[in-house]
Amino acid sequence: MADIDSKISGATPAEVSPSAENAQDDARKAKRKQAFLLFGGALALVAAGFGIYEWIEGGRYVDTDNAYVAAEVAQVTPLVAGPVLRVAVNDTQVVRKGDILVELDPTDAKIALAAAEADYADALRKVRQTVATGTALSAQVGERQADIARMTAQVQVATADLQRAEIDLKRRQSLVGDGAVSGEELTTARNAYASAQGQLAAARASLAAAQAARGTANGQQAANAALVNGTTPETNPQVLAAKARLDKARIDLERTVIRAPVSGVVTQRNVQVGQSVAVGTPVMTIVPIGQAHVDANFKESQLAHVRPGQPVTLTSDLYGDDVVYHGRVVGFSGGTGSSLAVIPAQNATGNWIKVVQRLPVRVALDPHELGAHPLRIGLSMTATIDTRPDSDRAQKGAN
């Protein structure tokens, strides 16, 4: 080493003094020490910067890989019973809302519709007949009123005849003592008076009968009017009831064609041609993959600062880290998975060990991203929630 240093300095080993060698060693040690100090300082700065970043930014994120894709699946069930005529879809097939899924035999529904149409026409005819009957009853009431007027006039005539016969009888009775009136004439006068009394009684009876007939006609008119007053033939209750049965028969005929209630993917198809299905029997399920969401199960210790509306970034095991989904926290489940289980855990025993619970958090996904990279329910996801306050995010976006 001394030879090399002496060559560098242009001196021979004999020409280099021990003091010079010591000075060179000290200089090299000082340089190495300075280099170590610079390296250590740089590491300290990096560590400090990382620590500050973690303190400011790192604590605002909570993540979990215990997350799964879910959706509000639509279970398809027939609303009318009947044999299956045709099945138009298969499992894994993509359908749109309104597409035909299953067709039932419409024969019985068509017969029921024809019967309902006949009942409706009959009800309408009967109501119109009732309206016409009301017109006829009104005429009858008028006729009975005319009968009463005629009978009243007859009573008046009979009363006048009776008065005249009474006067004639009294005059003859007063002349009997003078011999001016014969017994035969007196008898005739008496008979005329009695006949006038009978005619008056008959006229009065006829008037009473006419009045009773008018009362009957009035009652019949009122009863008939109660069936049609305030309505038209089309709005009569009987007609409306028949029309409701007709509308139901039409709907039942339409329901023999089962259509997709939502757009999605057909799954769990369990219906075959010729099978007789009952009302409410599940025939298939449609998964609306375009409306999928994520249920992320976070530890209870992670949820102190999680709020609805906070942004969420997600990745799926299906596409990997190359595809990133963006969503929002929608809400929290009403209870943990264990508490909502069919058989909840019972911890009221001496052998109890505390287990960190997880609470499902629902995350809504961007429909455009779902359209570009579709997901299926049950797929695993990794979710990271940004718990930073909205004001900080807005300020950062403005900057």
388 Cα distance to chain centroid = 37
Name the 3-class secondary structure at 259: strand
| Three-class secondary structure assignment of 307-322 | CCCCEEEEEECCCEEE
Q: Cα–Cα distance between 116 and 242 in angstroms, integer?
A: 7
Q: Check residue 225 and give its pLDDT.
A: 73
Residues 65 and 119 in one domain: no
Q: Cα–Cα distance between 142 and 92 in angstroms, integer?
A: 77
Residues 236 and 138 in one domain: yes
Residues 164 and 209 in one domain: yes
Q: Check residue 106 and give its pLDDT.
A: 95
Residue 284: beta bridge partners?
Answer: 76
Residues 144 and 90 in one domain: no
- Name the pTM for this structure: 0.63
Residues 125 and 183 in one domain: yes
143 Cα distance to chain centroid = 59
Q: Check residue 6 and give its pLDDT.
A: 46
List of residues 6+ apart from 275 with CB closer than 8 A: 83, 84
Residues 190 and 275 in one domain: no
Q: Please, what's the b/e burial string for 314-340 (b: 16 or more CB within 10 A of its CB; e: otherwise)? A: bbbeeeeeeeebebebeeeeeebeeee
* CATH number, position 260: 2.40.50.100
The range of the structural domain enclosing residue 14 comes to 2-53
Phi then psi dihedrals of residue 342, to 5 deg = -60, -40
CA-only gyration radius of the chain, Å: 54
Q: Check residue 92 and give its pLDDT.
A: 92
Residues 139 and 245 in one domain: yes
Q: Cα–Cα distance between 141 and 214 in angstroms, integer?
A: 6
Token pair, residue 240, equals 């409306």
318 Cα distance to chain centroid = 35
* CATH number, position 391: 2.40.30.170
Instruction: Write the DSSP symbol of residue 290.
Output: G
Residues 330 and 382 in one domain: yes
Question: Would you write out the chain's pLDDT as a tens digit for each of its 399 residues?
Answer: 444 444 444 444 444 466 767 777 777 777 777 777 787 778 878 777 666 655 555 568 899 999 999 999 999 999 999 999 999 999 999 999 999 999 999 999 999 999 999 999 999 898 888 777 777 777 777 877 887 888 888 888 888 888 888 887 777 777 766 666 677 776 887 888 888 888 888 888 888 888 888 887 777 777 777 767 777 778 888 889 999 999 999 999 999 999 999 999 999 999 999 999 999 999 999 999 889 999 999 998 888 889 999 999 999 999 999 999 999 999 998 887 666 666 666 666 666 677 788 899 999 999 999 989 999 999 999 999 998 876 555 555 544
Q: Cα–Cα distance between 287 and 292 in angstroms, integer?
A: 9
- What is the total count of domains within the chain? 4
Q: Cα–Cα distance between 302 and 388 in angstroms, integer?
A: 14
Residues 236 and 297 in one domain: no
